[in-house]
């Protein structure tokens, strides 16, 4: 979408909007990355005048959904803009015929239209607690409360789960026969019990009493969940209403009593038995009783509670389908305290055997004579026997003595044999290791030839630059010019390296073939001269190359320019070497001779222009662009010279490249990253602003991981960069990565609370607060998973954050980290006190 239109819609300035649309009416057809139309954006920011103007100019936008399937009416209901919802609903109802994308044309079909999750406008209004919008929608269409989304959630269920008492009451008044289903087959009553909303539970029991017997996909009623949570008051109220629910078994055969025992809620067990004394006779699919489950809880107080209840005492020796009594189970689970509790109970049968014929002593032989008395006596006797032996061992503390001692007391002839064999084999192994080590050293060390004494003399003469002595040496032994150093350098390479032109000229005149001879690195003498920056020598060698009628290189090329463009083993040309070492005069000379030298890249993909940009050689880079406007600009890993300038923070070079090669701003490297990605990653605010001024479209480019520059800035914790990108491209916040994660998810991953605060405070990004990724995880989920305590606190205390959102695994943030409940409780208490203080103030 055009950034100017976005800013005008956000500001609510109708006059500027009219000017913009008169200049370009087609702007209303533009979409954001998430498929939002201008009407969606106008509705989001709540400017009714802008909404009316856009709608009047393009009425078809009313039914156009975005990529999430949300119509503008969904957005208005979610944001709670009552006047806009009222306007749009009236337009829907007054229209003679409206066609939606799914082919429905009825007016009520538009109101009941679901998004991709099949949430209607009422779902959105209820979830966000917009009471006035809920009343309006139900007044227009009471049947809106009868629809469930694809997760099976009805508006009534959402109201119960979110604790919206007023909203729930309004739904029940407007639509008594409203749908009450929820996720995983639960009902609104399940949600009220799970979230401990006792007032809502009471309303539902009166309005829809049949819900008390309805079970979810796991076969669990509301009483199962109340018992699991240990909510004694809810358990009592549900049993007062219908005692029969205590006898309902879920798909695993567990009754509410089993669930309470397994989770260690002794008080709940007492209340269930109080209301339903014979419910203790219920067994699960494995034939296990409530006492078996109490043992599995690992809490001895629960076991004591069960065995002390008169109605349950007969369960003490009750066996399951495998013949295991509670005592067997305690031994199998290694529940020591529970074992002690049961063994000392005279009613427990210690000799009971399961189907495999095992008694509790067979399972754990240490269980003897009432709480281990037998074992304690045996240990005392053994200890008395071992004391004299241990005293004798004290004097022999070294390991060999210990080994020999235990071998001796074993009285086994094979011990001596094995000890002697082990000693012999150890010696052989040590000798073999020494031989292998020495062999390895001999194999690795290269056979280095000794340097010829004559070559050494030549090296010293060339280094000194004394032409007279050089002539004497060469006259004595002309074959010296054919000698090579260990690295394959010829005498000409050495002469060029030390920069003595007279020596270079003399050696070249005596053996011209050395000009194209490469060393082991593939460098010709011209490469060495360019690297060292000896202008006069480079000039001399280049002239010789150009004046020669025919020169043959080692790779078979004979052209004069082929010699200049010849690459070494890394395919670096002489220009690469000159640029890398910043030899400006050499660069000018080479480009004056052959402008195409700037068009070659080495095997790493690096061009001379890229090297100049990376090294910050502004003059060299300018000279290349002047001499060869069409020069290569590639670099390593598919980067360009602009990438290099941005990464190395050379702002002056970046500016030159943007003017000379503006197309580089859109080019991406092998990872799919543009220069803007790197500027955002480094937090270079000025570079980000300059790149966006040249081309705003780069803010929408995603790399191969689906990361936009905004994602990168958030992940690296650069809040100021996030603000600038949103300033230039307000709708870039809608971009998601391959995992469906937004900029707020990445802000959480950065671990910096200031970045999270920055994102949630930017108006264009506030809708991301409860946005889920592909796994259903909201930013709050991600903060809990990553254990970001400060960020968790920041998000939990934000009243816009949905604490009860669940991911695809059905987990809320409380399931991931149970300690968060305390923070939420504190938040509610503080919020409640603030409301009370405000009410008191108004009364005064």
Do residues 189 and 205 make contact, with C-beta atoms less than 8 angstroms apart? Answer: yes
Reported confidence tier of residue 822, pLDDT bands at 50, 70, 90: low
| 3-state SS class at 412 | coil
Q: First-to-last CA distance in the chain? A: 51
Q: Which of 200-209, 247-256, 407-416, 461-470 has the lowest mean pLDDT?
A: 407-416
Q: Which two tokens stand for residue 292?
A: 């078996």
Beta bridge mates, 634: 640
- Taking the whole predicted model, whether its pTM rises above 0.85 is answered as no
Q: Is 234 exposed, middle or buried (0-12, 13-18, 19+ CB in 10 A)?
A: buried
Report whether pLDDT(232) > 50: yes
Amino acid 334: pLDDT: 86
Q: Is 441 exposed, middle or buried (0-12, 13-18, 19+ CB in 10 A)?
A: exposed
Report whether pLDDT(373) > 70: no
* Higher-pLDDT residue of 416, 470: 470
DSSP state of 4: H
Buried b (16+ CB within 10 A) or exposed e, 260-280: bbbbbbbebbebbbeebeebb
Amino acid 549: pLDDT: 60
Reported confidence tier of residue 531, pLDDT bands at 50, 70, 90: very high
Reported confidence tier of residue 363, pLDDT bands at 50, 70, 90: confident
Give the integer Cα–Cα distance in Å for 175 and 145.
7
Give the integer Cα–Cα distance in Å for 181 and 194.
15
770-801 residue pLDDT tens? 999 999 999 999 999 999 989 998 998 888 89
Q: Please report how the helices 651-660 and 685-694 are oriented relative to each other, as an axis angle in degrees rounded to 10.
A: 10
Looking at every residue in the chain, the average pLDDT score rounds to 86
147-191 residue pLDDT tens? 999 999 999 999 999 899 999 999 999 999 999 999 899 999 999
Amino acid 147: pLDDT: 95
Residues 6+ apart with CB under 8 A from 512: 544
Report whether pLDDT(3) > 90: no
Amino acid 482: pLDDT: 84
| 3-state SS class at 634 | strand
Q: Is 493 exposed, middle or buried (0-12, 13-18, 19+ CB in 10 A)?
A: buried
738-781 residue pLDDT tens? 999 999 999 999 999 999 999 999 988 988 999 999 999 999 99
Which helix (H) or strand (E) covers residue 813, if one does? helix 813-816
- Map tokens 């005149």 to a residue: 509
User: In whole angstroms, what separates CA 324 from the centre of its chain?
Assistant: 47
26-46 residue pLDDT tens? 888 889 998 999 999 999 999
Amino acid 374: pLDDT: 40
Amino acid 198: pLDDT: 93
Stretch 288-314: mean pLDDT: 91
Report whether pLDDT(451) > 60: no
Report whether pLDDT(378) > 70: no
Buried b (16+ CB within 10 A) or exposed e, 777-803: bbbbbbbbbeebeebbbbbbeeeebbb
61-79 residue pLDDT tens? 999 999 999 999 999 999 9
Amino acid 126: pLDDT: 94
Top mean pLDDT of 291-305, 375-389, 547-561, 701-715 is at 701-715
Question: What domains can you pick out in the chain, each with its CATH number?
Answer: 451-569 (1.25.40.20), 769-844 (1.25.40.20)
Report whether pLDDT(364) > 60: yes
Amino acid 382: pLDDT: 45
Give the integer Cα–Cα distance in Å for 144 and 156.
11
Amino acid 819: pLDDT: 60
Amino acid 105: pLDDT: 55
The secondary structure of 190-220, three-state, reads: HHHHHCCCHHHHHHHHHHCHHHHHCCCCCCC
Do residues 687 and 720 make contact, with C-beta atoms less than 8 angstroms apart? Answer: no
Do residues 694 and 658 make contact, with C-beta atoms less than 8 angstroms apart? Answer: yes
* Higher-pLDDT residue of 555, 329: 329
Residues 6+ apart with CB under 8 A from 416: 407
Instruction: Name the percent of the chain lying above pLDDT 70.
Output: 86
Report whether pLDDT(733) > 70: yes
Report whether pLDDT(120) > 90: yes
| 3-state SS class at 181 | strand
Do residues 761 and 744 make contact, with C-beta atoms less than 8 angstroms apart? Answer: no
DSSP state of 253: S
Amino acid 667: pLDDT: 95
Give the integer Cα–Cα distance in Å for 140 and 93.
9
Amino acid 828: pLDDT: 52
Q: Please report how the helices 72-79 and 82-94 are oriented relative to each other, as an axis angle in degrees rounded to 10.
A: 150
Amino acid 242: pLDDT: 93
Amino acid 832: pLDDT: 46
Report whether pLDDT(395) > 70: no
Strands (E) across 470-559 are located at none
Instruction: Name the percent of the chain lying above pLDDT 90.
Output: 59
Report whether pLDDT(375) > 80: no
621-663 residue pLDDT tens? 999 999 999 999 999 999 999 999 999 999 999 999 999 999 9
């Amino acid at each position: 979408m055009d950034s100017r239109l976005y800013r005008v819609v956000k500001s609510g300035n109708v006059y500027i909007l009219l000017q913009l649309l008169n200049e370009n009416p087609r702007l209303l057809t533009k979409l954001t990355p998430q498929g939002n139309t201008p009407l969606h954006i106008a509705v989001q920011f709540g400017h009714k005048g802008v909404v009316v103007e856009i709608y009047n100019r393009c009425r078809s936008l009313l039914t156009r959904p975005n990529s999430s399937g949300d119509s503008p009416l969904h957005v208005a209901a979610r944001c709670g803009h009552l006047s806009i919802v009222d306007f749009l609903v009236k337009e829907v109802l007054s229209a003679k015929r409206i066609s939606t994308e799914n082919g429905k044309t009825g007016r009520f079909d538009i109101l009941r239209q679901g998004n991709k999750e099949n949430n209607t406008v009422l779902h959105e209004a209820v979830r966000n607690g917009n009471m006035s919008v809920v009343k309006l929608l139900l007044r227009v269409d009471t049947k809106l409360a009868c629809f469930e989304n694809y997760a099976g959630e009805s508006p009534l269920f959402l109201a119960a789960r979110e604790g919206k008492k007023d909203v729930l009451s309004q739904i029940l008044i407007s639509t008594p026969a409203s749908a009450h289903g929820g996720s995983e087959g639960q009902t609104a009553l399940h949600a009220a019990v799970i979230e401990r909303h006792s007032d809502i539970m009471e309303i539902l029991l009166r309005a829809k009493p049949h819900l008390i017997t309805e079970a979810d996909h796991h076969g669990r009623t509301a009483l199962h969940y109340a018992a699991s949570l240990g909510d004694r008051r809810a358990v009592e109220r549900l049993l007062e209403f219908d005692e029969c629910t205590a006898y309902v078994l879920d798909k695993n055969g567990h009754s509410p009593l089993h669930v309470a025992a397994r989770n260690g809620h002794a008080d709940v067990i007492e209340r269930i038995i109080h209301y339903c004394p014979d419910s203790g006779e219920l067994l699960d699919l494995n034939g296990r009783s409530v006492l078996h489950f109490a043992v599995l809880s690992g809490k001895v107080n629960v076991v004591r509670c069960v065995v002390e209840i008169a109605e349950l005492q007969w369960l003490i020796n009750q066996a399951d389908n495998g013949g295991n009594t509670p005592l067997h189970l305690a031994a199998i689970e290694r529940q020591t305290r529970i074992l002690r509790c049961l063994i000392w109970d005279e009613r427990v049968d210690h000799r009971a055997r399961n189907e495999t014929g095992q008694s509790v002593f067979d399972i754990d032989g240490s269980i003897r004579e009432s709480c281990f008395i037998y074992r304690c006596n045996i240990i005392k006797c053994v200890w008395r026997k071992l004391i004299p032996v241990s005293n004798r061992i004290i004097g022999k503390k070294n390991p060999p003595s210990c080994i020999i001692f235990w071998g001796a007391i074993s009285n086994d002839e094979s011990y001596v044999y094995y000890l002697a064999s082990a000693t012999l084999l150890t010696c052989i192994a040590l000798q073999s290791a020494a031989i292998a080590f020495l062999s390895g050293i001999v194999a690795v060390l290269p056979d280095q030839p000794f340097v010829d004494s004559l070559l050494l003399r030549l090296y010293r003469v060339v280094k000194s630059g004394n032409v007279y002595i050089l002539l004497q040496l060469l006259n004595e032994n002309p074959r010296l010019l054919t000698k090579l150093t260990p690295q394959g350098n010829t005498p000409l390479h050495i002469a060029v390296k030390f920069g003595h032109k007279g020596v270079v000229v003399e050696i070249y005149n005596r053996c011209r073939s050395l000009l194209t001879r490469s060393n082991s690195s593939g460098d010709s003498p011209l490469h060495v001269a360019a690297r060292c920056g000896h202008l006069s020598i480079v000039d001399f060698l280049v002239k010789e190359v150009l004046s020669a009628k025919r020169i043959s290189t080692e790779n078979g090329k004979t052209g004069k320019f082929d010699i200049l463009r010849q690459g070494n083993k890394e395919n670096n040309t002489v220009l690469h070497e000159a640029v890398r070492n910043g030899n400006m005069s050499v660069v000018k000379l080479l480009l004056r001779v052959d402008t195409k030298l700037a068009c070659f890249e080495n095997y790493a993909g690096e061009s001379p222009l890229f090297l100049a940009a990376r090294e910050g050689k502004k003059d060299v880079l300018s000279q290349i662009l002047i001499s060869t406007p069409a020069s290569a600009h590639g670099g390593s890993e598919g980067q360009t010279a602009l990438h290099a300038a941005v990464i190395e923070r050379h702002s002056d070079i970046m500016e030159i490249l943007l003017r000379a090669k503006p197309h580089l701003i859109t080019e991406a490297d092998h990872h799919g990253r543009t220069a803007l990605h790197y500027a955002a990653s480094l937090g270079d605010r000025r570079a980000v602003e300059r790149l966006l001024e040249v081309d705003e479209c780069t803010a929408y480019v995603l790399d191969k991981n689906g990361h936009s520059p905004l994602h990168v800035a958030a992940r690296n914790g650069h809040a100021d960069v996030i603000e600038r990108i949103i300033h230039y491209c307000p709708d870039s916040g809608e971009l998601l990565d391959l995992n469906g994660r937004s900029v707020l998810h990445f802000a959480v991953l950065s671990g910096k609370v200031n970045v999270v605060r920055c994102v949630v405070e930017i108006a264009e990004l506030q809708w991301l607060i409860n946005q889920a990724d592909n796994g259903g995880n909201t930013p709050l989920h991600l903060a809990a998973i990553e254990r970001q305590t400060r960020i968790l606190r920041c998000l939990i205390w934000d009243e816009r954050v949905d604490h009860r959102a669940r991911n695809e695994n059905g987990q809320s943030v409380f399931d991931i980290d149970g300690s968060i409940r305390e923070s939420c409780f504190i938040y509610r208490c503080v919020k409640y006190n603030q409301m009370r203080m405000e009410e008191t103030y108004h009364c005064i």
